[in-house]
């Protein structure tokens, strides 16, 4: 089994794992994402987070925003359609210290999209939970269409960011008390969101409903979450012409459960795959290629 170092370096956080003979023997976390470096350079952060690890003796593979134009080195995207197996042969070396995984892009008149980091999760998911359609929930959710090992197309839906902005920086969430989780409120939001072709006219109603006392002011966050996710899954499964095979959700358990509920509401089957597991499996497959 290969010994290697894996780093998931995003915009706001960094996570690193040291594997020896295929077993994780150490894990480190930092808030020094590429947008939070402060007065340190990426090389200095790298040296700090890998201190004491054998960076000169084993493959070091990094994925995520570290390869963006805001990161350590701007790494070119691989244009879709692309076989995920091609990724390991298209890495970029940075300062003789590590390899950076390229992101993926779509550039068409009807779709301009990019991803960084998710491609590594997809590489792991391809072996752990293959599917023709993946959804990767988060701040900017990705919906990925596959054909065997090839990424045909993907789209990004800003559901997570929109939820945050509406709740924290718009009139929709103004004056609300501390929010509480409420499964019934989430389900109610899913029902509304999945049945409307457009939810633009529904957004102000979220505020009006609690102003008029129709909805509990403590549960608006979950209702809004259901509204946005319900609309997202309905729209994206229609656009992707989702087949009968279950959709694979790549996410942490709490968020995956929300998407699974929304998909179930519209009659779609799904399975879940923990995001960290997919990422680490993908990095391992790359490290194995580098070691050979």
**Coil vs helix vs strand at 270:** strand
Position 53 confidence tier, pLDDT thresholds 50, 70, 90:
very high
Structure tokens at 276: 């960290």
Query: pTM for the full model?
Result: 0.94
Residue 10: pLDDT band by 50, 70, 90 thresholds? very high
Range 86-101 average pLDDT: 95
pLDDT, tens digit, 9 for 90 and up, residues 255-281: 999 999 999 999 999 999 999 999 999
**Average per-residue pLDDT for the chain:** 94
SS3 24: strand
pLDDT of residue 1: 58
* Three-state secondary structure call for residue 229: helix
Q: What is the 3-state secondary structure (H, E, C) of 104-161?
A: EEEEECCEEEEECCHHHHHHHHHHHCCCCEEEECCCCEEEEEEECCEEEEEEEECHHH
Q: Are 6 and 280 contacting, i.e. CB atoms less than 8 angstroms apart?
A: yes
pLDDT at 292: 75
Provide mean pLDDT across the span 278-286.
95
| Coil, strand or helix at 62 | strand
Q: Is the pLDDT of residue 239 over 90?
A: no
- 242-267 mean pLDDT: 92
In the chain, % of residues over pLDDT 70: 99
pLDDT at position 238 is 87
């Amino acid at each position: 089994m290969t010994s290697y170092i894996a780093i998931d370096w995003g915009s706001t956080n960094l996570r690193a794992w040291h594997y020896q003979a295929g077993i994780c023997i150490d894990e480190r976390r930092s808030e020094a994402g590429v947008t939070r470096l402060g007065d340190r350079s990426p090389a200095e952060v790298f040296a700090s987070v890998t201190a004491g690890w054998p960076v000169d003796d084993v493959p070091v593979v990094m994925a995520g925003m570290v390869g963006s134009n805001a990161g350590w080195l701007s790494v070119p995207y691989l244009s879709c359609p692309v076989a995920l197996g091609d990724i390991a042969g298209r890495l970029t070396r940075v300062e003789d210290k590590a390899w950076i995984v390229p992101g993926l892009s779509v550039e068409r008149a009807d779709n301009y999209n990019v991803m960084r980091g998710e491609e590594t999760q997809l590489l792991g998911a391809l072996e752990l939970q293959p599917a023709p359609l993946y959804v990767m929930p988060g701040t900017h959710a990705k919906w990925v269409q596959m054909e065997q090992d090839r990424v045909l197309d993907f789209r990004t839906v800003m559901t997570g960011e929109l939820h945050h902005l509406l709740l924290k920086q718009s009139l929709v969430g103004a004056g609300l008390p501390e929010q509480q989780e409420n499964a019934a409120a989430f389900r109610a939001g899913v029902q509304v969101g999945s049945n409307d072709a457009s939810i633009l006219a529904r957004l102000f109603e979220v505020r009006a409903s609690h102003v008029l006392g129709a909805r509990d002011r403590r549960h608006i966050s979950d209702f809004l979450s259901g509204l946005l996710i319900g609309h997202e899954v309905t729209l994206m499964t229609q656009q992707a012409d989702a087949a009968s095979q279950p959709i694979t959700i790549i996410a942490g358990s709490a968020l995956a459960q929300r998407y699974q509920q929304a998909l179930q509401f519209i009659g779609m089957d799904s399975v879940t795959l923990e995001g960290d597991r997919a990422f680490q499996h993908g990095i391992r497959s790359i490290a194995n290629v580098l070691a050979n």
